[in-house]
Amino acid sequence: MDVAITGSSGLIGTAIAKELELRGDRVRRVVRRTAGPGEVGWDIDAGIIDVEALEGVEAVIHLAGAGIGDKRWTEERKREITESRTLGTSLLADALTKLRQPPAVFLSGSAVGWYGGDRGDELLTESATPGTDYKAGICIAWEQAAQPAVDAGIRTVFLRTGIVLTADGGVVRESLPFFKLGIAGRFGAGDQWWAWISMADQLAAMLFLLDNPVAGPVNLTAPNPVTNVDYTKAFGRAVNRPTWLPTPRFAADLKLGREGTEAIVLASTRAVPDALLGAGFEFSHPTIDEAFAAIL
């Protein structure tokens, strides 16, 4: 296939572009810098995208958006997080409807934050109600921004991704040194649910969604979410280190701010992948121990 990707320089974007190329697909990277041969230029702030350069794409994977866990949640940062998602998605979705031959499928980024972070032990399938907090509001607006593509008849999938586990980046790479030293532990009470997925399953699921007639919201999470304390114990087992010492909250607050810590680290989101399982997708790493064994 001829596949366009936004966010192709990010952790997941880099990996999925490589997987597509390995299986023989052509990748067109949508870039904010000056576009080179085979690339598509866009400027979200200016509301500009090179529609002509998108002609002929058969699938689009949209992953662009400011990171939610790499900076403190100031009001300015929160606005950047929201607008980078909503404005970019709206710009891209509108562009796809203007193509002479629109793509057959549009995988549009989202997150399990759609369900909110205060759901306790509630099991969250794709049919669950949306959350009501700020993080849920971001994801709701993010998905709504893709509505032009849905209205145009493009098969649109909303990738409600959980915590992606890989040694190449994200939460695993950041916390690995502390686990190896035996000074990492649970956050807070540790009873908050974390919906996670290995990078291998994340990529395999995205390829599966490109190739199979699935539409609407899809939880990209492993079938066995875990509490933070169980995640912590599994990480410790993988590196053969103790995890009895709780991680002080101020460690997260310093990086994310109080609101960011509440929304990301202490949030409870017990999401499960009903749509993927119902479509016949098989996970390589269905349990947290299998995932850490493969990653580490």
Overall domain count for the chain:
1
**What is residue 71's predicted lDDT score, i.e. its pLDDT?**
87
What is the C-alpha to C-alpha distance for residues 197 and 67, in angstroms, rounded to an integer? 18
Type and span of the H or E element at 148: helix 147-151
Query: Percent of the chain, pLDDT > 70?
Result: 100
CATH number at residue 245: 3.40.50.720
pLDDT tens for residues 65-123? 988 888 888 999 999 999 999 999 999 999 999 999 999 999 999 999 999 999 999 99
Residues 6 or more apart whose Cβ sits within 8 Å of residue 48: 41, 42, 91
Tokens of 200: 């291998």
pLDDT tens for residues 207-249? 999 999 999 999 999 999 999 999 999 999 999 999 998 998 8
Contact assessment for residue 170 and residue 11, using Cβ atoms and an 8 Å cutoff: yes
115 is in which domain, residue-wise? 2-295
What is the C-alpha to C-alpha distance for residues 88 and 65, in angstroms, rounded to an integer? 8
What is the C-alpha to C-alpha distance for residues 248 and 242, in angstroms, rounded to an integer? 16
pTM over 0.85: yes
